[in-house]
Each structure stands twice: as C-alpha cells, then as structure tokens.
Chain A
C-alpha cells in the first residue's frame, strides 16, 4: 500500500512538473526568405518551455529580429510551423491572429512608443486587443483599464510619470513604459527585441531587472535577444545562439566560454563586460 502511494505521489509530481513545464513555443523547420532574396532563417527548430528566460544571442543580421517577429506574425514566415500557446500562428488570420497577439507582449529596441502622447495613454494602448472598436474610436477609457495601467506604471517605478509626454522621458524610462504597455496585455509570453541595445549599461541592467522579475514572480516566459553575455548569464535560464539564420548553440548561459563566444560572434570579438 505504501509503495502504491509512493508511486502515485511520484506520478503526480512528474505529471505536475510536466504540466508546469509545458511548451509555450514550438518552432519546427522555420524558414524565412525575404522578397529581396535574403535567406534570414534557415530551418529553425526550437522549443521554449513555460517559465523560461530564453536569451537569443547573435550578430546583427543573424536573424534574431526576424525570428522574434515570426512568433507573433509581424513578419510572415516562408515555411515551417510555429505553435504559440498551443495555437498555430502561421495559419492564424484576422480575429484569430489578433487574439493570439493579445497574449504576446513585445518590447522593442527603439521602444516604439508614440512620442507626443502621455505615458498613461501609451500604456493604455496595450489594452487595444481587448477593447471594442466603438470604444477605441471614441477614445473612451474603461475605468478598470486606467486602474490597471496606473498599477503597471507603478510596477515599473514610474508612478508619478503617468501624465508626462514620452518625448520628455529618458531612454530607460521609455523602455519601462514599453514594459508596462506589454503588461496591459496580460501576456503569457514576452518577446523582447534587443530591449537594452540603445541604453547605457546601468540603465540596461535596470530594465533587464524588470524583465527578470516578470519571469520569476509572474512566471512569464521571456524570449529576449541580446548582445551582452554578462546580462545573458545574469538573467537567462537558457541561451540560444543564431548565426546566419541557424541555431549554433543551445544550452545554459554558463556553458558559453570564450571559445563558444568566438564561434558565435566571429574570431576577432572580445566579450564586452558590463557591470
């Protein structure tokens, strides 16, 4: 009897673990050829488990941005399968696609905020996927949305900045507003396309800290492209390296030594240390 219970327990735990660690992103044999003829992705196979903080390393032009944008179909892939949250992204269109996108937050290198609007308005735009067309045409805001937006702004440490215009904020503050906007979507997955590439090292770390917190506290999956190995080691749970549209490394951040690093970034590169 005891043995039975023991086995049952083990089974339960493993099932629970399995459930817990289910795949949130599955990419199979993904190719992207741009109309100009550039072969940006050459057969990517990648599975991302829920709760991972996946760092994508690689030179500019290695296909990082393309890969991230294929995941929410900002760029249409040429061939291959992409499953996000158990839904087929490649085939999704119209309403379906918008529903999928709604649960994927995205953060950009250039922040991509609307510069002459206030931080609060920008954060509220993250809710557009949930808002009816009538409400968005008349610019009416739902009370709960505003409350949620203010809460998210507080979360990224910008409580007092809600009425400031974006163009009057610093780069780090802008990126934090962008994170708050992504949070409005209640995302399960956050895509970050070089979120700290246009920030100074100290600000970069603070922005990464917020992403790390979302990953650990809210169990959001983060896929983030980066250039700095030090940040990758600090926040990433797993690293994938791209080179010429192919995955050349997949493993733990700590497994990347100098030799690996040079393989990814080319022979002449030295690792840039920040902090």
Chain B
C-alpha cells in the first residue's frame, strides 16, 4: 500500500470508528435519560468516544480497520473480533432506541379496535349517491398524473444523456455536468411530491394544476435517474462501432444509444404514470386537487360512508393501473 493511501485509510478508519462510537454512546445516553432521567453531558460522550476510538484502533480489528485495511491475518469468527461486537451493539442499541421513539404499544393496538368502527362501517357500506362527483374527481386525478408524466418526459429525456457516466467525457467539464445534474436530480427527488404540492398550492393556488406541477417536478428528477441508469447499462459495442464510422457525438447518441433505450424508457414512463396516479391521491390532500382533496374534505366532515366509496375507487384505479402497466412493461422489455 502506498504511503498516502495508508494515511487516508487510517484517517477514514479512525473517523468511522469515532462516528460509530459517538452514535452508540449517544443512543445509550438517550436511553439513560428516558429511563432514569439522568442527563449525560455531550462533551463526556465525545471525549469517551474519542478515547475508545484510539484504544480500539491500536488494539486492532476495530470496525474502521476492518473496513479500510484489507487484513492478511487469519479470519476469526465474528464474535471473537471487536468489529463484530461493534455491529451487534450498534444494531441492538438502534432497535431499543427505535422501540422507545416510536412508542410501540401493542395493548393499544389490540384493545382499541372499536375506535375505527366508523371508518370500517363506511368502507363496507359505501355511499353510492356521490358516485358522479367522485368519478369526476377521479378523472381529474388520473389526467393530472398523465399530464405530469407527459410534461416530464422531454426534460428527463434530454437531461438523462448528460447524467449518464458513460456518455459524458472524462474531462473536468464532463464530470462537472454529470455531478451537477445528478446532484440536482437527487435533491429534487428527495424532496417529496407532498412538499412540492404545498409549495405549488401556494404558488398557483389550490387545485389540480398545483398537483400536476408537483408531480412533474418529482417525475423529472426520478425519470432522469432511471433513464440515465438505463443509458449506463446499454451495450457499448454499437456505440464504439458507430463512433468508428466517423460519426459525431450527437450522431452516436441518436443512432447507437437511442434505439437501445427507447423501449425501456417507455416502460419506465408507464411505470411512472402508475406511480403518479398513486401519488396524485396523496398530493390532493395538501391542495393538489383531484380525488385526494375530496377524500380530505369528506374525512374532515366525518362522512365515513362517502370516504368509503372514495377508498374503493382509489383502490380500483390503483389496481387497474398496476396491472396494466405491468402488462405493458412486460411486453416492452421482452426482446
């Protein structure tokens, strides 16, 4: 191993160990506070984590060492090593803290079923009088999902080429374009459509248009990622061959890349429409219009029989979309 590599590996190992220990000690101090109301000082946690990090690092086979130094020594069973116990302790502590934070309470779950009686009776006795109104709202939802998908396609299509590692030249600019587009797509994707809907319902007013914009933004980001990954998986042979004929970069993309990705792109797009129909319902809850908005209103008015029919309709549409898109995708991807 080269010297610089060794130094960076040591630093990485120590940082990993330190962060891991801080996490474990932090979890333990949280539990101590919850159970016996005793507050452990943060400084103390940091300091002890640091001391233990150094200690474990020099004793050997800590988690960081395991991760960043490929060891040549004989392999022990995990329970004979420090890193094994590190991981077990980490998992255990995580589970206990999780249980505590989520306030898991099985007694409530089994003893308070009758509270949901209203909604249950609504589901099994839906009110068909509002069927016309519900269907109108449902159509709104389906169409807004469709438009969001269609509007997202051209943006995602163009962006995906610049977000594919194998198409971007390995120069500074090529890398920069790739990283910037990928990062923006990741950020936009990690912001839920729900949040976008809140933003747009303020921007353009409550209604299906806000919902469409929210889903469109989210779809562009998601499709860019899916599309570009598809490009990264193409057969590079034709690309090489077309390049060898003296074609320009754009010609190579059009004739060697596009024919290979058209049907998977269509498959992904239909899948996205399917997802968008589902999301459109949720987005409706926060002002995105459609059947979600109607559901929210009826639920707040405690009209459980109206809620019942809406739930059935949503389930029906999601089921049909799911089946249809799976069928079409299977047809498209078979080669």
Residues of A within 8 A of B (CB): 72, 74, 98-106, 108, 110-117, 125-131, 133, 136-137, 167, 178, 181, 184-185
Contact = CB atoms under 8 A, between A and B. Distances in A.
Contacts of A117: 259
Nearest to B250: A133
B242 interface: yes
Contacts of A111: 237
Contact of B244 (A106, A116, A131): A106
A168 to B, nearest CB: 11
B238 A113 contact: yes
A117 B242 CA distance: 14
Interface of B: 235, 237-238, 240-248, 250-251, 254-256, 259-260, 263, 335
Contact of B255 (A99, A103, A136): A136
A129 B237 contact: no
A112 B240 contact: yes
A126 B246 CA distance: 8
Contacts of A130: 246
A136 B251 contact: yes
Given A112-B240, A133-B250, A136-B251, A128 B245 contact: yes
A129 B249 CA distance: 11
A98 B247 contact: yes
A104 B251 contact: no
A167 B255 contact: no
A125 B237 contact: no
Given A114-B255, A114-B259, A104 B335 contact: no
Nearest to A99: B246
B237 A108 contact: yes
Contact of A115 (B248, B250, B335): B335
Contact of A129 (B245, B254, B259): B245
Contact of B238 (A100, A114, A167): A114
Given A99-B246, A115-B335, A181-B245, A128 B240 contact: no
Contact of B237 (A72, A110, A128, A131): A110
Given A128-B247, A128-B255, A108 B240 contact: yes
Nearest to B243: A74
B100 to A, nearest CB: 50
Contacts of A99: 246
Name, among A105, A112, A131, the residue most crowded by chain B CB atoms within 10 Å (CB to CB): A112
A106 B241 contact: yes
B310 to A, nearest CB: 43
B241 A101 contact: no
Contacts of A167: 335
A106 B237 CA distance: 12
Nearest to A126: B245
Given A108-B241, A112-B241, A129-B247, A137 B254 contact: yes
A104 B260 CA distance: 25
A180 B241 CA distance: 13
A129 B248 CA distance: 7
Contacts of A181: 241, 245
The 5 closest A-B pairs by CB, nearest first: A129-B246, A102-B246, A112-B237, A112-B241, A128-B247
A99 B247 CA distance: 9
Name, among B247, B250, B256, B263, the residue most crowded by chain A CB atoms within 10 Å (CB to CB): B247
A125 B255 contact: yes
Contacts of A184: 245
Given A98-B248, A113-B241, A133-B248, 16 more contacts: A74-B240, A74-B243, A98-B247, A100-B246, A101-B243, A108-B240, A112-B238, A125-B242, A127-B245, A128-B246, A128-B247, A128-B255, A129-B246, A131-B251, A137-B250, A181-B245
Contact of B335 (A108, A116, A137, A185): A116
A114 to B, nearest CB: 5
A133 B246 contact: no
A157 to B, nearest CB: 21
A114 B248 contact: no
Contacts of A178: 241
A184 B260 CA distance: 22
A136 B247 CA distance: 10
Name, among A99, A102, A114, the residue most crowded by chain B CB atoms within 10 Å (CB to CB): A114
A74 B244 contact: yes
Contacts of B241: 106, 108, 112-113, 178, 181
Nearest to A103: B246
A103 B245 CA distance: 8
Contacts of A105: 245
A194 to B, nearest CB: 13
A117 B262 CA distance: 12
B334 to A, nearest CB: 11
Nearest to B254: A136
Contacts of B247: 98, 125, 128-129, 136
Contacts of B256: 114, 125
A125 B239 CA distance: 11
Contacts of B238: 112-114
B240 A116 contact: no
